[in-house]
Structure 1
Amino acid sequence: MLSVGILICSPQVQARDYGQHGAIFPVIERDLLKQIQSRLIAMQKSGEMDRRNAELKSRTLAKVERPAPVAGLINARATRSWQFDPTIMLADDILDAKGKRIWARGARVNPLDSVRLRSDLLFLDGDDAGQLKWALAHQKKAKLILTKGAPLLLMRTQKRRFYFDQGGKLVRHFGIKALPARVRQNGRMLEISEIALLPDRRSAQ
């Protein structure tokens, strides 16, 4: 502390001006909200905003009418079937409405013990006329799930409900590689079949 006091009180300690090193630029700040507002007003006056809204609406409707197809699927060349165990291990406790624990974390639960699969699930390429004809003719009670095509258009023309496997989550979950494919309940298991359609009569097992 003594040395610090000496330095502070000493008349020989002087501040020095080391001059200017490098370029110095003025700080210019703009109000971001005002800038955005000005841009929006200009877009509105020029009609650019209306054009962009129309383009966005058109793209959104196009995606709804025809979602992105699921990649990597082929037409089944041979019929094959396998069993799928839907049993899952719970990551957390399952509680009822009153907070009472129904299932404990870590328990293995088969959903088919509580809820049956009410109808077969049929996965198909909605742009394949043969798959579509076979599905409508032979699977009247099945849930038709598209991996490609226009579900809303088919609902309007065929007068029945179609679903779409967004992002291919279901086909990946079941291990489906080829179409059409069928998922049906077989006791406590699910039987999954990739079905090769005969080109002459488009029928299957």
Structure 2
Amino acid sequence: MSAASLLGLLLSAVPLHAGLDAAIGKTYPITERDFLEVIRERLQAKQNSGELAAMQTAMQDKARHGIENPTPIAGITRASKPDTRYYDPSVAAAQDIRDADGNIVVKAGTQANPLDYMGLSKVLLFIDARDKQQVRYADHYYKTSKKPVKVILVAGSYMALMRQWQRPVFYDQGGNLTGKFQITHVPALVYQESPAATVLRIDTVALSAEAAE
């Protein structure tokens, strides 16, 4: 019998699909769970167990603590001796500065002093609010100063101090002002001695050790 006749006989005796099933075995449809559905199930499980609520509370507490207690400005310590120096705020104009009518007031490259155009009407008082003595000093200075005072913290909770004083308190975010004025010790006062002054005076205040806590 030829090979072709033998193959024909085999094909006629055994159904083709039966031979394939025997070789491959039972098949199943390929299924894949939706990724978002898996996420939803896991979140639901965490919610049911209370884990999700605990995570949300922890995140809120962390955010609230960061707002209430900003990172202290590095390199600033309590003053141990008084000091006075002056700061010249003059800067070179990067471009022409014009008035409302378009007239050039300051040409590019010219040294310009902001105090020639607008004075500093307030006293800037920098303190570390973690130091109770500095807080008392700032409160007393605020209440007795002849000029308005803007209290700026370098450490401590400005939110807590605002609630205590019931008035605005600020924080030197990123150390921008203390860096500009090169303040490394507090309490420190920054102010314009007179309307005609073209420099700012910076006083470092040394509080008495006897009153310190």
Q: 1:41-52, aligned counterparts within 5 Å?
A: 41-45=40-44, 46-47=46-47, 49-52=52-55
Q: Secondary structure at the match of 1:117?
A: coil
Q: Deviations over 1:102-153 (max 9, x none)?
A: 4332122111111111110000001111111111112333110001111111
Aligned residue for 1:193? 203
The Cα shift of 1:176 comes to 0.7
TM-score, with structure 1 as normaliser: 0.73
Q: Structure 2 length normalisation: TM-score?
A: 0.70
Gaps of 5+ in 1: 1-33
Partner SS state of residue 154, structure 1: helix
Q: Which residue in the other structure is 2:57 paired with?
A: 54
Amino acid at match of 1:44: L
Deviations 1:18-63 (A, max 9, x none): xxxxxxxxxxxxxxxx74x346424431225544433322221111
**Counterpart residue number, 2:173:** 166
- Is the CA contact (8 Å cut-off) linking 2:133 and 2:211 kept in structure 1? no
CA RMSD, aligned part only?
2.2
> Of the candidates 170, 186, 189, which is equivalent to residue 179 of structure 1?
186
Structure whose alpha-carbon radius of gyration is higher: 2
Matches within 5 A, 1:10-29: none
Look up the match of 1:78.
Answer: 81
- For residues 200 and 39 of structure 2, what CA distance do their matches in structure 1 show? 55
Consecutive unaligned residues of structure 2, counting only runs of 5 or more, are 1-33
> Identical aligned pairs, as a percentage?
31
CA distance in 1, matches of 2:53, 2:106: 54
Contact 1:120 1:143 in 2 (8 A): yes
